[in-house]
């Protein structure tokens, strides 16, 4: 590998940034010229977000229970840990018993975390502080 | 490596005993666990091992700094019983996070690969972000956590970008491989590599709170719970400076001419700004935050000079700074609990009412100021002599001037404690155990002042 770099090596990056900015500029200008020159009419329905044809009700920014957030973040945590099982399953036969016990250790930590949050009351929906 | 495995097990055990509501088991478990980990770490002395494709290097430097970090954590845990004595819940989450950040600190003292450095810094920092906000219903604590998180992630971005540039040029994350790249291409290193180095230095300077990347430190240190401040300002600084030294001594030694200019700028600015800002503070915690900033300036001397005694002096300075800071914070948390503020006025006449605590505070302040025969004096003397041997006379002159300025603000609490009449404050009731602990720590500081050669000779 040739490790001496000169500024010319970075031309692809320059090209990419020019394309990225150029796309934004061109689309904005193009839509400006393509759209009709008639006076724009603003109505209540025209300004609305189009959401599958269903009428919008209220605002999305309202307070909701922190428990939803907690459940969501715990789901992400456990979901990501499952990813470690895929490479392990592929290499299962090569790693033999050592790999099996290492995965058991990993599962132990995972289940300990589950036990911890369970004991901490993360799933206790009835109890309100 | 033993230390990291044992500490992880200890932290998980802590969480387990906390969650089954065994509050009385926690602190004895952690303290005895830390002693065991200390010995597990020390028995590896003299053996040079590396693990996982040189990701983790266990040499004497690592073991010495790991021992220093464990000692510091041990001292912080001793005083946690006093700080949290009114809290009923087991607090296992805070203790476990402190242990996890200690693991991050150990990783930072022993990396052999830049990605490992990044993992260490993140383990340390993410625990700190949570710990800074661990006083949930205090606005100042929340502010500290958010400020630390936002600025910290920004600095991490700089660090990571610098690492990416260095990798892009040298083709490796391994410290030795980067070093051999530098040696092989000494004449034709592209500018991009130096840009990467500067960005990495910015990230590291943020972590040790060196000027001009120190703005987070006063607010974060003031807002966090006092025990956590003591922990952050010692563990964070010692681990970061060890990582910085390791990075430069293994990797960037052959381009040191370039690093010296930047580091000297950092060191001089840090000493001047840190000391001058500390002079005007009335809040003790904020004053110690600025004192921590100015101390990282002195710590940078050893990295700039890179002499044969640099590593040992760095270790000695770190230990003496950590012990003195923890002693000071232990007294501050006591006075704050009784009198409600961190103001200097609260220390009026403390020597009459609480002679033991006032003595400990005085020893800590004099050590930080560098009064012989305390550890702080020997630390400063050695670090100046290392810089002198390296030929950095101007740096030493700035350091001495900064040290003279620092005497002014370090002696303020001593004057308030010993020469001011108390205005209607009652005696602060403490436990006997606390008195013994704080006396032991201040005596440790005095003893350490007589044995600098023992510590410096280690490395």
pLDDT of residue B430: 84
Query: What is the rounded distance in angstroms from the CA atom of residue B224 to the CA atom of residue B435?
Result: 24
Which of B19, B171, B185 is facing A119, going by the closest CB pair? Answer: B19
User: CB count, 10 Å around CB of A90?
Assistant: 9
**Cα torsion angle, B166, B168, B173, B177, sign:** negative
Residue among B329, B358, B379 at smallest CA distance from B76: B329
Question: Considering chain B, what percentage of its residues have pLDDT values greater than 70?
Answer: 100
Tokens of B257: 């001419």
pLDDT of residue B61: 93
pLDDT at residue A35 is higher than 90: no
Query: Does residue B394 belong to any structural domain of this protein?
Result: yes
A64-78, B137-151, B179-193, B204-218: range with lowest mean pLDDT: A64-78
pLDDT at residue A7 is higher than 80: no
Q: Is B26 on the interface with A (CB under 8 A)?
A: no
**Cβ contact (<8 Å) for B12 and A4?**
no
Query: Does residue A50 belong to any structural domain of this protein?
Result: no
Query: Does residue A33 belong to any structural domain of this protein?
Result: no
Query: Does residue A25 belong to any structural domain of this protein?
Result: no
Query: Does residue A110 belong to any structural domain of this protein?
Result: yes
Rounded to the nearest 10 degrees, how much is the dihedral formed by the CA atoms of A58, A63, A68, A73? 110
pLDDT at residue A1 is higher than 60: no
**Cβ contact (<8 Å) for B15 and A109?**
no
Query: Does residue B85 belong to any structural domain of this protein?
Result: no
Query: What is the rounded distance in angstroms from the CA atom of residue B33 to the CA atom of residue B27?
Result: 10
Query: Does residue B247 belong to any structural domain of this protein?
Result: no
Query: Does residue A115 belong to any structural domain of this protein?
Result: yes
Query: Does residue B238 belong to any structural domain of this protein?
Result: no
Query: What is the rounded distance in angstroms from the CA atom of residue B91 to the CA atom of residue B167?
Result: 42
Residue among B253, B269, B258, B156 at smallest CA distance from B204: B156
Rg of the Cα trace of chain B?
21
Query: Does residue A75 belong to any structural domain of this protein?
Result: yes
Using alpha carbons only, give the angle B365, B370, B373 rounded to the nearest 5 degrees: 100
Across chain B, how many H-helices and E-strands are there? Answer: 20, 2
**Cβ contact (<8 Å) for B19 and A5?**
no
Alpha helices in B253-374 (DSSP H): 256-279, 284-305, 310-339, 350-353, 355-369
Q: With bands split at pLDDT 50, 70 and 90, how would you rate the model's confidence at A92?
A: confident
Query: Does residue A17 belong to any structural domain of this protein?
Result: no
Range of the domain at A73: 66-119
Which of B10, B11, B14, B15 should one mutate to test binding to chain A, selecting the residue with the greatest count of A CBs within 10 A? Answer: B15
pLDDT at residue A88 is higher than 60: yes
Which of A5, A109, A116 is facing B169, going by the closest CB pair? Answer: A5
Query: Does residue B55 belong to any structural domain of this protein?
Result: no
**Cβ contact (<8 Å) for B169 and A119?**
no
- Please tell me the total count of domains within chain A: 1
pLDDT at residue A4 is higher than 70: no
Which of A1, A4, A112 is facing B188, going by the closest CB pair? Answer: A4
Which residues of A lie closer than 8 Å to B, measured between beta carbons? 1, 3-6, 109, 112, 115-116, 119-120
Range of the domain at B279: 257-459
User: CB count, 10 Å around CB of B76?
Assistant: 23
Query: Does residue B36 belong to any structural domain of this protein?
Result: no
User: CB count, 10 Å around CB of B58?
Assistant: 22
Residue among B336, B316, B337 at smallest CA distance from B449: B316
- If residue B139 lies in a helix (H) or strand (E), which one and from where to where? helix B139-170
What does the DSSP 8-state code read for residue A48?
A: S
Give chain A's length: 129
Q: Is B181 on the interface with A (CB under 8 A)?
A: yes
The whole-model pTM stands at 0.88
Query: Does residue B198 belong to any structural domain of this protein?
Result: no
Mean pLDDT score of chain B: 92
Distance from CA of A72 to the nearest CA of B (A): 20
Average pLDDT over residues B316-323: 95
Query: Does residue B380 belong to any structural domain of this protein?
Result: yes
Residues of B in contact with A109 (CB under 8 A): 12
CB B410 within 8 A of CB B368: yes
The per-residue pLDDT for range B401-433, each reduced to its tens digit, is: 999 999 999 999 999 999 988 776 778 888 888
SS3 A102: helix
A–B: how many Cβ contacts below 8 A? 25
**Cβ contact (<8 Å) for A4 and B190?**
yes
Tokens 């839509």, residue located: A31
The per-residue pLDDT for range B26-70, each reduced to its tens digit, is: 999 999 999 999 999 999 898 888 888 889 999 999 999 999 999
**Cβ contact (<8 Å) for A5 and B190?**
yes
Q: Is B393 on the interface with A (CB under 8 A)?
A: no
The per-residue pLDDT for range B175-186, each reduced to its tens digit, is: 999 999 999 998
CB B444 within 8 A of CB B319: no
- Please tell me the total count of domains within chain B: 1
Q: Are strands B56-58 and B49-51 parallel, antiparallel or unpaired?
A: antiparallel
Looking at the DSSP assignment, which residues form a beta bridge with residue B283?
B343
Q: Is B170 on the interface with A (CB under 8 A)?
A: yes
Per the model's pLDDT, the better-predicted residue between A46 and B421 turns out to be B421
pLDDT of residue B22: 85
């Amino acid at each position: 590998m040739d490790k001496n770099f000169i500024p010319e090596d970075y031309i692809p990056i320059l090209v990419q940034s020019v394309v990225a900015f150029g796309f934004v500029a061109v689309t904005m200008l193009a839509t400006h010229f393509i759209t009709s020159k008639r006076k724009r009419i603003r109505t209540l329905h025209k300004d609305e977000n189009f959401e599958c044809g269903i009428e919008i009700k209220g605002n999305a920014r309202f307070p909701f229970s922190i428990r939803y957030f907690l459940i969501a973040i715990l789901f992400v945590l456990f979901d990501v840990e499952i990813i470690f099982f895929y490479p392990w399953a592929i290499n299962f036969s090569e790693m033999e018993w050592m790999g099996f016990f290492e995965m058991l250790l990993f599962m132990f930590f995972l289940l300990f975390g589950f036990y911890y949050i369970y004991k901490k009351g993360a799933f206790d929906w009835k109890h309100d502080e | 490596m033993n230390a990291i495995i044992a500490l992880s097990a200890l932290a998980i055990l802590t969480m387990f005993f906390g969650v089954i509501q065994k509050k009385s088991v926690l602190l004895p478990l952690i303290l005895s666990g830390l002693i065991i980990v200390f010995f597990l770490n020390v028995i590896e002395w003299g053996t040079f091992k590396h693990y996982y494709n040189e990701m983790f290097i266990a040499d004497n430097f690592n073991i010495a700094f790991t021992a220093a970090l464990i000692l510091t954590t041990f001292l912080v845990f001793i005083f946690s019983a006093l700080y949290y004595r009114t809290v009923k819940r087991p607090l296992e989450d805070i203790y476990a996070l402190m242990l996890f950040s200690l693991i991050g600190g150990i990783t930072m003292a022993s990396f052999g690969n830049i990605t490992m450095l990044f993992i260490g810094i993140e383990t340390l920092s993410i625990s700190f972000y949570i710990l800074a906000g661990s006083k949930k219903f205090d606005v100042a604590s929340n502010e500290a956590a958010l400020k630390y998180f936002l600025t910290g992630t920004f600095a991490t971005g700089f660090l990571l970008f610098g690492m990416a540039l260095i990798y892009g040029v040298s083709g490796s994350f391994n410290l030795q491989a980067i070093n051999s790249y530098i040696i092989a291409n000494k004449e034709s290193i592209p500018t991009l590599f130096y840009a990467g180095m500067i960005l990495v230095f910015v990230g590291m300077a943020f972590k040790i709170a060196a000027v001009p990347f120190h703005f987070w430190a006063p607010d974060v240190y003031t807002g966090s719970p006092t025990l956590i401040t003591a922990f952050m300002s010692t563990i964070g600084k010692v681990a970061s400076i060890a990582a910085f030294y390791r990075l430069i001594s293994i990797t960037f030694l052959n381009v040191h001419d370039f690093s010296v200019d930047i580091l000297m700028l950092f060191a001089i600015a840090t000493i001047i700004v840190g000391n001058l800002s500390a002079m005007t503070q009335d809040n003790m915690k904020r004053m110690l935050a600025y004192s921590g900033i100015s101390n990282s300036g002195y710590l940078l001397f050893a990295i700039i000079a890179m002499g044969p005694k640099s590593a040992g002096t760095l270790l000695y300075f770190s230990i003496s700074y950590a012990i003195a800071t923890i002693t000071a914070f232990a007294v501050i948390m006591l006075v704050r609990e009784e009198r409600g503020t961190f103001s200097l006025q609260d220390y009026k006449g403390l020597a009459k009412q609480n002679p033991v605590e006032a003595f400990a505070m005085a020893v800590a302040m004099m050590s930080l100021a560098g009064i012989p025969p305390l550890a702080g004096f020997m630390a400063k003397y050695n670090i100046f002599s290392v810089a002198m041997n390296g030929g950095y006379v101007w740096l030493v002159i700035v350091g001495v001037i900064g040290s003279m300025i620092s005497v002014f603000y370090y002696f303020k609490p001593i004057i308030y404690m010993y020469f001011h009449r108390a205005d209607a404050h009652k005696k602060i009731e403490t436990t006997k155990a606390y008195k013994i602990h704080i006396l032991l720590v201040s005596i440790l500081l005095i003893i350490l002042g007589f044995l600098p050669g023992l510590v410096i000779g280690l490395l």
